[in-house]
Amino acid sequence: MSNEDMWKAYSRGMAAVMNEGGVHVSALLLRSYRHLNLSEAEVMLLLQLMLFRESEGIEFPTMEQLAERTGSTERVVETTIGRLMKEGFLTIDEQIDSMSGIQSETYNWSGWMLKAAEWAAEEKRESRKAERRTVKRAPDPSNIFSVFEQEFGRLLSPMECETITGWVDQDRYQDELIRFALKEAVFAGKLNFRYIDRILIEWSRNRVTNVDEARAHSQKFRGPRG
């Protein structure tokens, strides 16, 4: 056989292999299986069930077929399938052909996909919580929202953020004046937005425009009480 004939034979062999098809496996399934307490043997069995259906059109392979494919025994395969079904990773669905009335069974691994999706969602929630804790531990002193969160010891609500934005954009209060009003509220032991707003309104009525004037006004206000 010439080299050209050999390459043609090789090409035909590769084409035949590729025509056999394959199985699409989500990266999430492979990334999460250990967190879901699935063993490699259990994952391989699930993947073989996918292969039988999607590549070979066999929706309910026998224990013998699965044992041969996984290099295990029928008893081990049966035990593994039982565990997967008990934990909700696998179910057996019954189908009835509408034309012939013949009943058949098929393996359904949607439970595995659902558990993987739930794990991914929980992982994302935990990641966001960690990010928020980091922000809370290291507030940005140049960000007025971070300063308020540090004093309140929690994240601000959307309405509270909108209130601060209104003080800056609509009422035109200076950033330093808002910060000083926050300190006054802390000093008075009345740490709430309504009290801070009353302080800012009082200063506005008395034409207080900076921290020095606000400090003088506050000391004058406290004078008779001292």
Angle at 93 between CA 88 and CA 98, to 5 degrees: 160
Domains of the chain and any CATH numbers: 3-117 (1.10.10.10), 139-225 (1.10.10.630)
Identify which of 146, 133, 207 has the alpha carbon closest to the alpha carbon of residue 182. 146
Highest mean pLDDT among 19-23, 61-65, 102-106, 142-146: 61-65
In the chain, which ranges are E strands? 91-96, 103-108
Give yes or no for residue 37 having a pLDDT over 50: yes
**pLDDT band at residue 137 using 50, 70 and 90 as cut-offs:** very low
90 vs 3, more confident: 90
**pLDDT band at residue 92 using 50, 70 and 90 as cut-offs:** very high
DSSP-derived secondary structure for 159-189:
HHHHHHHHHHHTS---HHHHHHHHHHHHHHT
Give yes or no for residue 180 having a pLDDT over 80: yes
How many other C-beta atoms lie within 10 A of the C-beta of residue 80? 20
φ and ψ of 96, to 5 deg: -125, 120
How many other C-beta atoms lie within 10 A of the C-beta of residue 166? 12
Which of 12-26, 30-44, 81-95 has the least mean pLDDT? 12-26
pTM of this prediction?
A: 0.51
Give yes or no for residue 225 having a pLDDT over 50: no
| Dist CA 178 CA 157 (whole Å) | 18
Query: Which tokens sit at 145?
Result: 């929202």
Q: Cβ neighbours of residue 85 under 8 Å, at least 6 residues apart?
A: 91, 92
Q: Cβ neighbours of residue 180 under 8 Å, at least 6 residues apart?
A: 211, 214, 215
The neighbouring-strand residues paired with 105 are: 94
Residue type, 88: G
- Mean pLDDT, to the nearest integer, of 119-135? 75
φ and ψ of 95, to 5 deg: -125, 145
Distances (CA, A) of 14 to 8, 21, 24, 35: 10, 12, 20, 37
